[in-house]
Each structure stands twice: as C-alpha cells, then as structure tokens.
Amino acid sequence: GTLVLVPGNTYTNRTTVNLGTLSISADSCLGTPPPEPLVNSLIMGGDSPGELAYNAILKATETFTLHANRGVQLLNAANAFEVVDGRTLTIAGDIGSNPNGGLNKAGNGLLKLTGACSWTGATAIVAGTLEFAPTVDCALEGGVTGSGELKLTGTGKVTFAGANDYSGNTTVSSGTIGGSGSPNSTMTIANGAGVAPGASIGVFQASNLAVAEGSAYDWEVDHTGPAADLVDVVNTLTLPSAANSVTVTLQNFSGGSGTFTAALYEFGSLAGDVASLKLDVASSGYAPAAPYVSGNSILVDLQPVPEPMVLGAVALAAAVLIRRRS
C-alpha cells in the first residue's frame, strides 16, 4: 500500500521504508532533520525482489530537496526512488549501502544526487533522469542498467567501475566521467567537462560520442607495458572542427625507451577534425606529438624525452671526443 505523509512533521527518529510506498511532497514530511549528518536517517529496505521489482519505494510528488543531514542507507536491491513527471527530488545527503544495497530510479521525473555516493550494489535507471552533481569523487561499483537518462553536473569525478549496459543518453555538463562507460549509451562531453577511461589504465565505451570544444581527456600511459587508456566508440565519434580545442592531458605512469604508438580513440565512423585534439605533454616525459587517424583509430606516436642528466652526459662525452680529436 501507500502511506502519504504531509509537510510539517516534527518527529526526530529515523525513517525506514521496508515495504510499500512512502509518498512525500517536502523534506518536512520526514520530520525534523538531524542536527548533524546521520548516515542512516533514511533507510531504504525492501524484501528480495519477487513479482514486484521494487517493493520499498520513496515517491516524490513535488520538487524539493532532502536536507543534507539526512544520509540515506540502501539495504538491498529491492528499493526505488520514484519521482513523478516534471518534478525533481534532490538528495543532498550522502548515500551508502549495507552491505550491498543498490539504487533504482523510477518515475519520469529527475532524481539529483549532490552528496557522496558510496553504495556498492547495482544502479538501475528504469525511467526518467538520474543526475550526479557531487563535489567529491564517486565510484559506482555494481554497474548501471536501464534505459533512463544519465547526467553529470558536479565538480567531482563519477567512475563507472562495474559492467554497464544502460542504453539511455549520457550528458556530461561538468566534472569528469570515468571508468568503463557503456557501449549502449549515446554520450556528450560538454565544454568544461572531461573523460578519464578506466580506474587506472582502461577502456571507456560509448555507443556514440560527441566531444565539445573546451572539453578534456585524461590519458594515462604505461610505456613499459606498453599500455594506454582508450575511448572505444562503437558507432560515431564526433570531434569539434576548431583546432586544438580539446585538451588531451598525458599522464605517464612509467618511463620507457623507443617510440610507442598508442590509440586515443577507436570508432566505427568519425566526424569532425582530428586537429581539434591538443596533446598536453607537460611533465609527462614525452616529446610533443600530433594525433592522427589510421583506419578506425586515432593514434599518437609517443617518444620519451631523455632526462636532463642523460643529455648532459651525452653533451659532455661529445665535448671530450671533440677535444681528443683536436
């Protein structure tokens, strides 16, 4: 069944949803907020999924923000946050799990998360939009599924660490998207936003990817492996037309010798201009290089720069040799 709580409640205990639907229209429906952050102010339980996919539901019928001190604890995968069409529920507190709870987004409205996200179970965007707007880094360990839309608007990095197959559109307006991505999602990296494949060196996937002017790519390389980050676009990769408008920052984990050719992108088809990619090699130990297209890849030939001491030794040896000959 459904329990509707009206605004203006003053109780101070925790709120637990184990079965059924709790319908609220304001933060005060859940009583007085804790005076300090409480990790389990709102507990989302639910039995193991049976005939009903989600049997513990918090339903938001208006646009409002849950107080930042109301931490949310997810007990398992049988809970859901349902936001009705045209409304936004913002959870400002931190969201965690005990031990492997997941987060499910239902309803056609928007669920916006501005606190830390540390649940370890799966994330499902069944309908509507799930927006991450954290100021800290978040890692989604359990994978992301569903057909709803995903947005990133915070300043932190959101890493998709699990196996993801969600098919909704992904828009990264700010912050950084990292991890493995999803081969079924059409993605946009906006001006001021970035992508960072893998947890360290790894592959980030997208069905289609549009990269805007002013966006960034954190590219990690291990020359001794050799190995490098890769953005793998199943269908169309769209780059800007403006030269040097996308910054690729090279981060070298280890040195090496000789030229190492590494792929920045692989794609089904390419639109735009590869000259839009500007490789930033500052402090990386590599010489400047220009990305180029080869087949269905954008490649870079990386050449380590000798250390100053090595250059000095070479110069000294040359000077000695010249003196001896003279």
Residue range 180-189, pLDDT digits in tens: 999 999 999 9
**Cβ atoms within 10 A of the Cβ of 297, count?**
18
Residue range 284-307, pLDDT digits in tens: 888 999 999 999 999 999 998 876
Q: By three-state DSSP, how is residue 313 classified?
A: helix
**251 touches 223 (CB < 8 A):** no
Q: Where are the alpha helices (DSSP H) in the chain?
A: 308-325
Summarize the confidence of residues 237-266 as an average pLDDT.
Answer: 91
pLDDT value, residue 161: 86
Angle, vertex CA 177, rays to CA 71 and CA 186, nearest 5: 115
Residue 292 vs residues 90, 198, 267, 297: alpha-carbon distances, Å: 43, 23, 13, 8
Mean pLDDT in the chain? 91
Give per-residue burial for 186-203: e unless 16+ CB within 10 Å, then b.
bbbbbeebbbbbbeebbe
Residue range 108-129, pLDDT digits in tens: 999 999 999 999 999 999 999 9
Residue 297 half-sphere exposure toward CB, CA atoms < 13 A: 9
pLDDT value, residue 251: 85
Query: Which residue type is seen at 68?
Result: A
Global pTM?
0.90
Q: By three-state DSSP, how is residue 314 classified?
A: helix
Q: Which residues contact 324 (CB under 8 A, 6 or more apart)?
A: none
**Tokens encoding 212:** 């805007």
Bridge partner list, 144? 123
pLDDT value, residue 85: 98
pLDDT value, residue 234: 99
pLDDT value, residue 208: 99
Q: Which class for 148: exposed (0-12), middle (13-18), buried (19 or more C-beta within 10 A)?
A: buried
**Tokens encoding 80:** 């859901």
> What is the C-alpha separation between 281 and 294, in angstroms, rounded?
21
